[in-house]
Each structure stands twice: as C-alpha cells, then as structure tokens.
Amino acid sequence: MSPSSNPGYTVDSAIRMTGPSANPAPVQILANGNFNTDLSSWRTTQTDSQAGNSFVWSNGVAAISMPGANGGGGPFGFDDQAQLTQTISNAVAGQAWFTSILFSVANVGDGCSLSASTDSEQLFSADYGFPSAHTGPVNASGIFKNTPSAYNVLIYCYNYDQGYDVTPTLDNIGLSVFNPSTGTNPIRPTSGRADFSINNGRAQVQFTRIDSRYTTPAYIEQLLGHAAEASQHVTLTGDVYINIPNGGANCIATMGTNGDQMWIVQNVVSSQTYHVDLNYTTTQAGQYMALFTTCTGTQVCSTQFDNVMLTLNSF
C-alpha cells in the first residue's frame, strides 16, 4: 500500500489510462495496393450496373468507367456504384488500423463518394459534391470492432443534371495495423486521422467549385476506439478554420458522434477561427466521431479541422 499525500485515507491501487511513449510500428496487410503492373490480389465484387463495367488496370491505377446520360446511361443520368475487394488476414478485433487511398475523379457531376469497409464494419466514407473534380489522398484510422477477413473499396457516383461520363481511379491503397494500446483519446491511431487532404498540418476540406443552389456536404469520420455511451460525460476540443477569402459563400461546420451533434456553427459568411473546448453529456451511444462541413455560394472556400480530441468520462 502506498500512503496518500492527503491525510485520512490510503490508496492501495490505481489505474492510469495512458498511451505508449512512441507510436507502434505499422504492419501493411494489403498486397498490390499500388497497381504497378496489374490488379492482382484484387477482385471486382460489384460492377457498374449501367454498363456492366468492372475495374481495369490502366497506367498504374485501378479505373472504372461509369457512363452518364451522354455515354449510354439513363436519359436523366445515372446512379451507380462499383467495388474492389481483397481478402486479408493478420488483423484482429481490438487492433488499431490506418488506411489510405489516392482517389481521383473528373467531371463529378452531382456527386461521388468513396468508402472503405471490412466484411463486418465500415471504416470511412468521404463525399465529393456538385460539381467539382478531385484528386488527392483520403485517410482514416480507428480500431477494428470485429476480426476482418476482407477489405472493400466502394465508389458511388450519381449524376442527374449533367450527363457526364465519370471515370474514377484508385491508387496507393494501404491498410496498416498497429498493436493495441490504451489511451484517453479514443480517436486513433495517433499516426493519422481521417482527412481529405493535409494543409499546414490540418485536415482540410477544399471546395473548389460550389453552386448557389446546392450545398456541398463533406464528412470526415472515424471509428472510436471506445464507443461513447448514453449519459456519459465527455469533453470535445479542437480548432476549426473556415476560410472564405473573397466572400460569396455561406458555410456550416459541426463536430460530434453519430449519436450526438456536440458543436455547430452556421451561416458563416467570412473567414473565421473557432477554438472549441466544451463539456457535453451524451444523449445517445456513439460509435464514431464525425466532422461535417458544407458550403453554398459562388466563391472558392475551405474548412480545416485540427487538434480534434474527444475525451470520455472527463467531468
């Protein structure tokens, strides 16, 4: 027993929740994620239903053509999806993971989304709204709830107004696992976070083309290492930067879990910085952290998230 510095009682044991002093080394468990010469180790588990197209190898990437109204789709465009799958091993429930995909699509039309999942749970979903093109990495991290046996990458695109042909491509797909470690911040591993791109050390959602009639919703999601429970005291901290350099846009940003929206700012029409530090009592259970932003208008703008931390049982 260790005597307490406070008279009147003693402490015979204690548990301290803490992380490792150094990040564990990642172990890559996917094969041929760079598609240097072919699509070996991968299979198409869902084809483009408009034309029955599958992913093909093309100049070092996995590509698929989704025909719009001008290329053989329906008279009002298309609503379609296609999926690549690889069998995986050497990963178990409770293990931290980090995944990254280089995603490129031109002529988005109304919108496209990219998601990754295992055979038993979704890892992330990223949305790209009307009507901009995109090229860049999409990263996410978390902890496996169940032991996975397959890794899936799903592309979903819809196009009702434009009639573009859409040819999304995938490259540099990676899935690394880390040894489990205990930490007070359930968003993990610390070596990466869900993002669309990194700008000056911040996760950035860049709206390159927006429209006065349509919003352009984008989500950054990550599974929590420890799910939040209903009626639990949590602390949410983080920095949010909304950049509207030339006016002409109206933006919203929110942070929370899939059970509770904990923080929101809306009707933002000029560049603003928000330093979030709040205590919150949850009303529902939450399995993942969600950062959301959307803008409407006519000018280029962006939203950046940084230093986001959710601490459970904090007050």
Full pLDDT tens readout for the chain, 315 residues: 334 444 444 433 333 333 333 445 678 999 999 999 999 999 988 777 666 778 899 999 999 887 763 444 444 455 678 899 999 999 998 787 888 899 888 765 566 788 899 999 888 777 765 545 667 777 777 778 889 999 999 988 776 555 567 788 999 999 998 764 444 343 433 323 333 455 566 667 776 656 555 555 676 767 677 788 889 999 999 999 999 988 888 889 999 988 899 999 999 999 999 999 999 999 988 877 888 888 888 787 888 888 888 988 888
How many Cβ atoms from other residues are within 10 Å of residue 264's Cβ?
11
- DSSP character for 66? B
Whether the bond between 189 and the residue before it is cis, its omega within 30 degrees of 0, is yes
SS (H, E, C) the chain: CECCCCCCCCECCCCCCCCCCCCCCCEECCCCCCCCCCCCCCEEEECECCCCECCEEECCEEECCECCCCCCCECCEEEEEEEEEEECCCCCCCCEEEEEEEEEECCCCCEEEEEEEECCCEEEEEEEECCCCEEEEEEEEEECCCCCCEEEEEEEEEECCCCCCECCEEEEEEEEEECCCCCCCCCCCCCCCCECEEECCEEEEEECCCCCCCCCCEEEEEEEEEEECCCCEEEEEEEEEEECCCCCEEEEEEEEECCCEEEEEEEECCCEEEEEEEEEECCCCEEEEEEEEEEEECCCEEEEEEEEEEEECCC
Structural contact between residues 251 and 171, judged by C-beta atoms closer than 8 angstroms:
no
